[in-house]
Amino acid sequence: RQLLEDGVLGDVHTLIADHGEFFTPDHRIFNADLAGGPMLDLGSYLVALSVFVGGGAPDTIVARGQPVPAGRVNGQTSMLFTHQHGMHSVLNT
């Protein structure tokens, strides 16, 4: 945070972030009835980072999910955010 505020990193044009974690098959994240999928538990951190670095909510969002083979939830979500000053965030969880 301090490096961004002090301008040490200069203007940020692209943020690329990935947040993954191993879960056993019986974990809640694979249960659609319990808000499963990566966005709630993992993706929210990436979105928060993008909003912070980008200086606010993105102007446009494109997102796609890939379902797990044996379930009703996404196993992976990829996102592209564009912010008002042109910064892009490429996020994957």
pLDDT at 70: 77
Which pTM value belongs to this model? Answer: 0.87
**Average pLDDT value over all residues in the chain:** 93
Ordered by start, the domain boundaries in the chain are 2-92
Confidence of residue 72 (pLDDT cuts 50, 70, 90): confident
Kindly report the CATH class assigned to 2-92: alpha beta
At 14-54, the pLDDT tens digits run 999 999 999 998 999 999 999 899 888 899 999 999 999 99
Question: Which residues are bridge partners to 16 per DSSP?
Answer: 90
The CB-based long-range contact list for 41-47 (8 Å cut-off, 24+ gap) reads: 42/93, 43/19, 43/77, 43/79, 43/91, 43/93, 45/19, 46/17, 46/18, 46/19, 46/79, 46/89, 46/91, 46/92, 46/93, 47/79, 47/91
Question: Which residues are bridge partners to 90 per DSSP?
Answer: 16, 80
- The stretch 5-19 carries a mean pLDDT of 94
Residue 12 has pLDDT above 90, yes or no: yes
